[in-house]
Amino acid sequence: LRFDEQVRVVVFRSQVKGVFCAGADLKERAKMDDAEVGEFVRRLRNLMDEIAALPVPTIAAIDGYALGGGLELALACDLRVAASSAKMGLIETTRGLLPGAGGTQRLPRCVGVGLAKELIFTGRQIDGEQAASMGLVNHSVPQNSEGDAAYQRALTLAKEILPQAPFAVKMGKLAINKGMEVDIASGMAIEGMCYAQNIPTRDRQEGMAAFREKRPPQFTGK
């Protein structure tokens, strides 16, 4: 996906009705020794980092349970859409654990430190509407009879992104992600570097031409 220039948006969904991702299999985990657990979680953390590093926008369509590592997967995405009936939570402390695949870092960056601490310390599960009210998800939608309401809303969101200039969107994602980790002056410098890379693109020229000619732009990602 990272190197496929035809890919402009990635939607993560589950084909298991009622479950986005239920997290680690604790029965499997119980059979591991300490070293194996450490390696398992390290690989899981690396996977989440790979998802977060995808250059194109990513959307998690949460139509059911997203618990533990399942919510960490959703947090690794850029955008999240949830059914109002979905259940989400970093429940690790209820099992004698703590989030180990990015949850302690991505959740506070998403909802703020205080709320993140409350959710992680209590292991509380929340529904889609509660998640939307605290900014954990971008949109909460009523579940439909097919059980894929979040996926359908995610597709609608993806279709809003698709017509936009692909390289500009990628640079926008990069500028936001890198800028959030530094002070604002450094962030402005990062934005400047990303903008500079976008200036010579054909898509920028096409965008200007389309505006002058009063027609929809035809972006190619070049």
Choosing from 64, 66, 70, 72, which is the catalytic residue? 72
User: 86-109: per-residue pLDDT in tens?
Assistant: 999 999 999 999 999 999 999 999
Which structural domains are found in the chain, ordered by start? Answer: 10-162 (3.90.226.10), 166-213 (1.10.12.10)
User: Is 92 labeled as catalytic in the residue annotation?
Assistant: yes
User: 7-43: per-residue pLDDT in tens?
Assistant: 999 999 999 999 999 988 878 888 888 898 889 889 9
Neighbours of 216 (CB within 10 A): 8
Choosing from 64, 66, 89, 92, which is the catalytic residue? 92
Pairing of strands 87-89, 65-67: parallel
Per the prediction, the chain carries an average pLDDT of 94
User: Is 72 labeled as catalytic in the residue annotation?
Assistant: yes
Tokens 């900014």 label which residue?
135
Q: Which two tokens stand for residue 209?
A: 């031409």
Number of H helices, E strands in the chain: 10, 8
Give 184's Cβ-side CA count (13 Å radius).
Answer: 0
* Whole-number Å distance between alpha carbons of 129 and 149: 14
User: Is 69 labeled as catalytic in the residue annotation?
Assistant: yes
pLDDT band at 217 (very low <50, low <70, confident <90, very high): very high
Instruction: Detail the DSSP E strand segments found in the chain.
Output: 10-12, 19-21, 58-62, 65-67, 79-83, 87-89, 126-127, 139-141
Choosing from 68, 69, 103, 128, which is the catalytic residue? 69
* Whole-number Å distance between alpha carbons of 153 and 156: 5
* Whole-number Å distance between alpha carbons of 37 and 35: 5
Q: Is 125 left (phi over 0), alpha (psi -120 to 50) or beta?
A: beta
Question: Of the ranges 10-14, 39-43, 153-157, 181-185, which one carries the lowest mean pLDDT score?
Answer: 39-43
